[in-house]
Amino acid sequence: MVATGLFTLLFPLPLLWLLSCWWLRRQRGARWRLGSDRRLFADGPATRALFVTAHPDDEAMFFAPTILSLAQARLWLLCGSTGNYYSQGDVRKKELLDSCLVLGIPPSNVTIIDHRDLPDHPSVEWDTQLLSALILKHVKTNQINLVVTFDARGVSGHLNHKSLYTAVRHLHSEKKFPEGCQVLTLETVNLFRKYISILDAPISYLQSPDVLVMLARKDADLAKRAMQCHRSQLLWFRRLYLFFSRYVVINSLRSL
């Protein structure tokens, strides 16, 4: 009886997996609801995109699909810390540069902030005014017209992630960004959806985000290669993350 129940429970999974693979092949690439977002993803070098992350490895763990979908654009990355929580900051800085190279962001366009008031710590909320000033300076210096960062829940709930959203939202609401600069935030999904990999593709599609990016297998392999550059972080659970997380293949984003 138990075996029958288990079979009934597990039997649909391979079918769902195959269905999701088929769906991903048909729907892969970037999709958008607004014409302004379509322009940003289609304009190539005219799009100057800044990814604002908190720690080395965020770009690979969470933002890789969006970064890869903007391969024809000019890309920058601003990382809020060296990731020195376990005193590995120097190692992690090099890993970040290697990962960005895989994703198509040149080392010259990667800035890593090392500020005592912006420590890598899961229970520290970063100073909004300080962060806002650093982000705005970067946007103006590089003539950025697209900023991408975390949403209010920070995907993993990490306070450093949430702080980035607070700073970017502050700049946006105060109209500090240059005219025409758009902001996209990476949508946080519930724990179940987060770890069902490509099975989340149809769900994400039905949620109608402002921008939806779904990677083909070739680009998903690139995203995994980028994460593998972070050798100091590849503990057993992060290896499982590479296999199960939807953020390796799917990003859904909302406009501010």
The pLDDT, as a whole number, for residue 44 is 74
User: In what order do the strands lie in the sheet containing 110-112?
Assistant: 29-32, 211-214, 250-255, 182-186, 146-150, 48-53, 74-79, 110-112
Task: Dump strand ranges (E) for the chain.
Answer: 29-32, 48-53, 74-79, 110-112, 146-150, 182-186, 211-214, 250-255
What are the tokens at 124? 């520290």
Counting Cβ atoms within 10 Å, is residue 143 exposed (0-12), middle (13-18) or buried (19+)? exposed
Cβ neighbours around 138 below 10 Å, total: 18
Calculate what percentage of the chain has a pLDDT beyond 70. 84
Given a cut of 50, whether residue 9 has pLDDT beyond it is: no
Name the band, by pLDDT with cuts 50, 70 and 90, for residue 75.
Answer: very high
Average pLDDT, the chain: 89
Between 20 and 94, the higher pLDDT residue: 94
The pLDDT, as a whole number, for residue 42 is 72
In this prediction the pTM is: 0.90
The pLDDT, as a whole number, for residue 22 is 56
Between 27 and 150, the higher pLDDT residue: 150
Name the band, by pLDDT with cuts 50, 70 and 90, for residue 229.
Answer: very high
Between 158 and 19, the higher pLDDT residue: 158
Calculate what percentage of the chain has a pLDDT beyond 90. 73
The pLDDT, as a whole number, for residue 96 is 98
Name the band, by pLDDT with cuts 50, 70 and 90, for residue 18.
Answer: low
Q: What is the pLDDT of residues 93-122, one digit of tens each?
A: 999 999 999 999 999 999 999 999 999 999
Does domain 30-255 sit in CATH 3.40.50.10320? yes
Q: Which has the closest alpha carbon to 215: 28, 25, 42?
A: 28
What is the average per-residue pLDDT within 25-39?
Answer: 62
Q: Find out whether 96 and 110 touch, Cβ atoms under 8 Å.
A: yes
What are the tokens at 210? 């402002």
Residue whose pair of structure tokens reads 């520290």 in the numeric block: 124
What is the rounded distance in angstroms from the CA atom of residue 83 to the CA atom of residue 131?
16
Name the band, by pLDDT with cuts 50, 70 and 90, for residue 28.
Answer: low
The pLDDT, as a whole number, for residue 217 is 84
The least confident of 17-21, 70-74, 94-98, 190-194 is 17-21
The pLDDT, as a whole number, for residue 14 is 65
Q: What are the structural domain ranges in the chain?
A: 30-255
